[in-house]
Amino acid sequence: MDMGKELLFFFSAVGTFNGILLSLYFFFFTRKKYLTNYLIGALILALSIRIGKSVVVYFDPTLPAIYRQIGLSACFFIGPFLYLFLSAAAKGLDKMPGRWTAMLYTLLAATVIGGTLFSYRNYPELWNKYLAWIIYMQWLAFVIASAYPLRVRISKFFTNGTKRTAQDSWLLMIYFGNVIIYIVYFLALIQAPFTSYINGSIVFSFMLYLAFSVLLYRKKTDDLFQFTIEKSGNRKIEPAQAKTLIEKLEKTMSVSKAFKDSDLKLSSLASMIGIPPHQLSQLLNEHIENNFTTYVNSYRIQEACNIISVNNLLTLEAIGYEVGFNSKSTFFAAFKKHTGMTPLTFMQQSAVSAKAES
């Protein structure tokens, strides 16, 4: 191995090793256990495994086929973890939704069962001609889908004069870095000229060292990827601006029915109307005189009342889930707080009124 290859191997291998260490840091050593920390840790680990395979196979093509199988299998998780991380960060989620957990378990089961029944060692042609393409297309689909939670931030990126926060820059760097890594690996898959899988290792290592440089100069690392609400300070929202924002907010709630999303967060609602979370919080407090939870629940209760008035086939619990509540007790408590009566009492009164009118 000449000096150039030795340096290339060292740079790529150290990047892989540091990637694994960084993923372990986010899994086990942050003081605050944010969902986003676990997801970014999983994303970095999947990338590190894929990169590690590229490094060892590039410098020793005679290694057992299991290395190639592990590397391709890791690709099966890079796209999903990228999407879940960016979605959780954009929505400010602190708990993994059930459908996400089910998706990850399904992917894991497919990887283990499929890899056992059709190993790379026994079916190399199947992996190279078909499974590799399926995995890369799945990866691409999730990379494209990952742009959706960032749509407002991406719009800011391409708009001159628009102020971007440090959080915006971090998310965009992670997203576009993953886009570049995917492109490099895809070009290597189709054997484009002047491309190689080792190029993906170089891109990953460069991004990782950049992340490390930020970590070293940052006073707090626990909340690096926890995107909390910024303070609004003393700056007031002008009446004309407030009117425009309220109209957009009401349209989002009434027409798009954003309140039906049981995972709706302040940050995700703010993204829908194109403002920072702290500004939405300020708008709600100063111009609507409600906090976020009360405001969203008012729409949910109004929708529940409409459904109860015209539909006597659904159970009260089903109606609660339909309008966005994630538990029966939360729905009943919010309903009584907003209407002064229980859902059952309201249903009975609605039935009496309907009978009287007929």
Looking at this protein, which amino acid is placed at residue 87?
S
* Fold category of 3-217 in CATH: Rhopdopsin 7-helix transmembrane proteins (1.20.1070)
Name the residue ranges covered by the structural domains of the chain: 3-217, 239-357
Question: How far apart (Å, rounded) are the C-alpha atoms in residues 292 and 353?
Answer: 33
Question: How far apart (Å, rounded) are the C-alpha atoms in residues 157 and 264?
Answer: 25
More confident residue, 2 or 153: 153
Using one digit for the tens of pLDDT, what is the confidence trace for 266-306?
988 998 888 888 889 889 988 888 889 999 999 999 999 99
Residue 2 pLDDT > 80: no
Reading the block at residue 116, the tokens are: 């056992």
Per the CB < 8 A criterion, the answer to whether 318 and 331 are in contact is no
Residue 175 pLDDT > 80: yes
Reading the block at residue 338, the tokens are: 């907003």
Write the DSSP string, 324-354. Answer: T-SSHHHHHHHHHHHHSS-HHHHHHHHHHHH
Mean pLDDT of 245-263: 92
Question: How far apart (Å, rounded) are the C-alpha atoms in residues 39 and 140?
Answer: 19
Residue 230 pLDDT > 60: no
Per the CB < 8 A criterion, the answer to whether 127 and 68 are in contact is yes
Per the CB < 8 A criterion, the answer to whether 18 and 51 are in contact is no
CA 152 vs CA 12, 59, 168, 226, 269: distances in Å: 34, 42, 10, 18, 11
Measuring CA to CA, which residue among 36, 34, 146, 92 is closest to residue 267? Answer: 92
Measuring CA to CA, which residue among 9, 11, 37, 7 is closest to residue 22? Answer: 37
Question: How far apart (Å, rounded) are the C-alpha atoms in residues 157 and 43?
Answer: 23
Per the CB < 8 A criterion, the answer to whether 178 and 150 are in contact is no
Q: Cβ neighbours of residue 206 under 8 Å, at least 6 residues apart?
A: 15
Question: How far apart (Å, rounded) are the C-alpha atoms in residues 310 and 320?
Answer: 15
pLDDT band with cut points at 50, 70 and 90 for residue 11: low
Q: Provide the whole-model pTM.
A: 0.60
Cα R_g (the chain), whole angstroms: 25
Mean pLDDT of 104-117: 95
Reading the block at residue 112, the tokens are: 């283990």
Mean pLDDT of 231-254: 80
* Fold category of 239-357 in CATH: Arc Repressor Mutant, subunit A (1.10.10)
